[in-house]
């Protein structure tokens, strides 16, 4: 395994059979994590970048089988933030030190292009030193271009799975792998810093699907890569499918760091939810971003993509001091700047 890890570091690539071995074989992972950590330190030092996550709406017109805020879940209590509430969140976040605001939401038709552009322009004007990241799902290239011109810099759209047949098992027929891919390349073409990613251990996922995910990322070369374990939600068709594995997620974070040294890789809330130390372990495996929740307190419990989603303690933006201590204990330092990607690092 030592020579495989060295090869991955050197060549940023492996054969399919070698990826399979690194993902599935039993071996002590400490070497993999420490090599990934060394590569991350070469490019980014001990910096951990923070992003303020504002969950603008949990209305969604889609029916993804894994997701708790799917349209078909009539038990979900729905909310959407007003423009004023979103700006207030940014104000609070900016005072705390956040210089990236992530507007994430379900695909809510109420947030049409005019409203999205209005909100983005207002944030851009008020916080010229901050990056604006959107995570609002699949749109036309024209719409993506309008948001970009209004001042958005980055877009997060996980590809979820890069295998068309697997994509069909996770989504209803109106959502296609082809369109997902189209969106990601459109975003790149417009000039966004783009984030893709996938769930680990999603229903029916095999190691071949994971390898296809890695190959797709090699083709896309995204700036950000977000992964987390699949976590069940009782009010979805996948209620009976088990959670993904933290161990596989951590291995994949390390593999991604070695394949994409420049990438911004979050240690996700899902990782922090599946294990009390998940987020620190993610940082030690090569992740370098955390995204504390900056949504208004009274809606945080409603943005329930999966069960037991954490939103208090160091997951909460207002507890930044606690987060700083936890990050320092893990051996890193929270940095309060925009934290743009370092492609030439
Ligand atoms: N478990 C883990 N992650 C989930 N997501 C949606 N539902 C779940 C779930 N049940 C992830 C998807 C989506 C991101 C916002 O959250 O990958 O892109």
Domain total in the chain: 1
Confidence category of residue 48, pLDDT binned at 50, 70, 90: very high
How many Å apart are CA 104 and CA 55, to the nearest integer?
A: 5
Q: Which of 133, 199, 225, 269 is the pocket-test mutation for ligand 1 (most atoms within 8 Å of CB)? A: 199
Is 342 contained in some domain?
Answer: no
**With a 6 A CB cut-off, is 67 part of the ligand 1 pocket?**
yes
**With a 6 A CB cut-off, is 171 part of the ligand 1 pocket?**
no
Q: Per residue in 291-310, is it b (16+ CB within 10 Å) or e — as a string? A: bbbbbbeebbebbbbbeebb
Is 83 contained in some domain?
Answer: yes
Average pLDDT, the chain: 97
| Percent of the chain topping pLDDT 70 | 99
**With a 6 A CB cut-off, is 309 part of the ligand 1 pocket?**
no
The whole domain housing 178 covers 2-12+33-333
Question: Is the confidence at residue 212, as pLDDT, over 70?
Answer: yes
Is 343 contained in some domain?
Answer: no
Residue 206: predicted pLDDT: 98
Is 292 contained in some domain?
Answer: yes
3-state DSSP call for residue 24? helix
State in Å: Cα 296 to ligand 1 middle.
21
Residue 343: predicted pLDDT: 85
Is 212 contained in some domain?
Answer: yes
Tokens representing residue 268 in the block: 């996700």
**With a 6 A CB cut-off, is 291 part of the ligand 1 pocket?**
no
Q: Pairing state of beta strands 224-229 and 193-200?
A: parallel
Is 28 contained in some domain?
Answer: no
Confidence category of residue 143, pLDDT binned at 50, 70, 90: very high
Residue 162: predicted pLDDT: 98
Helix, strand, coil % in the chain, rounded to nearest 5: 45, 15, 40
Is 117 contained in some domain?
Answer: yes
What integer is the mean pLDDT of 78-102?
98
Q: What is the pLDDT of residues 19-37, one digit of tens each?
A: 999 999 999 999 999 999 9
What's the CATH code of the domain at 90? 3.20.20.70
What integer is the mean pLDDT of 226-244?
98
Q: What is the pLDDT of residues 148-203, one digit of tens each?
A: 999 999 999 999 999 999 999 999 999 999 999 999 999 999 999 999 999 999 99
How many Å apart are CA 171 and CA 180, to the nearest integer?
A: 11
Whether the Cβ atoms of residue 28 and residue 5 lie closer than 8 Å to each other: no
- Comparing C-alpha atoms, which of 55, 77, 56, 79 is closest to residue 68? 77
Residue 35: predicted pLDDT: 98
Is 243 contained in some domain?
Answer: yes
- Comparing C-alpha atoms, which of 139, 183, 128, 129 is closest to residue 160? 183
| Percent of the chain topping pLDDT 90 | 98
Strand extents, DSSP E, the chain: 47-50, 52-57, 100-105, 131-135, 154-156, 193-200, 224-229, 289-290, 333-335
State in Å: Cα 68 to ligand 1 middle.
9
């Amino acid at each position: 395994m030592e020579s495989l890890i060295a090869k991955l570091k050197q060549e940023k690539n492996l054969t399919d059979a070698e990826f399979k071995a690194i993902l599935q074989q039993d071996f002590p992972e400490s070497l993999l994590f420490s090599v990934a950590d060394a590569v991350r330190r070469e490019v980014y030092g001990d910096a951990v970048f923070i992003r303020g996550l504002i969950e603008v709406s949990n209305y969604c017109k889609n029916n993804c089988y894994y997701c708790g805020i799917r349209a078909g879940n009539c038990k979900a209590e729905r909310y959407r933030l007003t423009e004023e509430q979103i700006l207030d969140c940014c104000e609070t976040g900016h005072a705390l030190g956040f210089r990236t605001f992530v507007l994430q939401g379900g695909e809510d038709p109420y947030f049409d292009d005019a409203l999205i552009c209005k909100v983005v322009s207002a944030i851009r004007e008020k916080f010229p030193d901050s990056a604006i990241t959107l995570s609002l799902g699949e749109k036309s290239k024209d719409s993506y271009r309008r948001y970009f011109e209004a001042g958005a810099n980055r877009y997060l759209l996980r590809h979820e799975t890069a295998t068309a047949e697997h994509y069909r098992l996770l989504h209803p027929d109106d959502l296609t792998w082809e369109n997902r891919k189209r969106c990601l390349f459109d975003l790149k073409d417009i000039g966004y810093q783009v984030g893709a990613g996938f769930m680990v251990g999603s229903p029916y996922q095999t190691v071949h699907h994971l390898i296809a995910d890695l190959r797709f990322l090699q083709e896309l070369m995204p700036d950000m890569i977000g992964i987390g374990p699949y976590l069940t939600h009782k009010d979805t068709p996948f209620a009976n499918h088990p959670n993904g594995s933290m161990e596989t997620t951590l291995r994949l974070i390390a593999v991604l760091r070695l394949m994409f040294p420049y990438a911004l890789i979050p240690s996700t809330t899902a990782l922090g939810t599946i294990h009390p130390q998940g987020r620190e372990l993610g940082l030690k495996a090569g992740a370098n971003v955390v995204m504390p929740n900056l949504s208004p307190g009274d809606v945080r419990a409603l943005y329930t993509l999966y069960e037991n989603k954490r939103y208090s303690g160091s997951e909460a933006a207002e507890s930044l001091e606690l987060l700083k201590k936890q990050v320092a204990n893990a051996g890193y330092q929270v940095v309060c700047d925009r934290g743009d990607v370092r492609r030439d690092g």
